[in-house]
Amino acid sequence: MCGRIVQKSGPLDYVERIFPNPRRLFDDPAGRRYNIPPGTRPMALHRLAGDLELERLHWGWRPHNSKYLMSNARLDKILANAWPWKLLTARGRILVPADGWYEWKPLADRPKPPKQPHYIHAADGAPLYFAALSNWRPDAEKDEVHGFAIVTNDAAGGMIDVHDRRPVALPPDLAARWIDPDIELAEARALLENGLPETAFTWHPVRQEVGNSKYQLPDAIDPIAS
């Protein structure tokens, strides 16, 4: 996963798919975003304080005394209870809703191949729910110390990309369970092995401008001739 996602749906579109008839309205004044990179604040869903919340959290987590900013969390490390994910899996489970994500594929017919961006999304056009881990703290500054990393499954293999990894996108019922604060840690880890399969997705090439994360126009996800 190269680390660019799209959030073009409204907050209620994300919430109602996993929590029909929510008890309150959710809004987000920032509006639609078509090219969200790590280091910024995408919308995230969680129940870390009990009630369902939708807020913008920092994408990227820097563990205490670490020089590394982590935007992805490898599934195999989580399942092995490896540092630094064990504690976050127990107390920091969140969802990052998205409509899709970008990956770049080298153009093999060139001497020094540029990379062609592709937009990957659900075949049925529905919102996706990426499992993520956060060091969220109530009332803490929404910075990289309290940021999050999206879970990726490197063993699943890539789709169009060369990374051989993909975000773990949970189906709606499992997404709701993932952020349930009352489930056992073993069940939470097991949920991550049930991400959507490759057949649930489709993809197409998009314009080169999406290589610049400042490009936020709606046509960023439009297909182009390959």
Query: What are 193-212's pLDDT values in tens digits?
Result: 999 999 999 999 999 999 99
Active site residues: 2, 103
| pLDDT average, residue stretch 129-154 | 91
pLDDT, tens digit (0-9, with 9 covering 90-100), for 33-74? 999 999 999 999 999 999 999 999 999 999 877 888 999 999
Fold of 4-211: hypothetical protein yedk fold (3.90.1680)
The 10 Å Cβ neighbour count of residue 32 is 13
CA distance 200 to 217: 26
CB 169 within 8 A of CB 128: yes
pLDDT at 163: 67
CA distance 69 to 9: 28
Whether pLDDT at 142 is above 90: no
The DSSP element (H or E) to which 118 belongs, if any, is strand 115-122
pLDDT at 82: 86
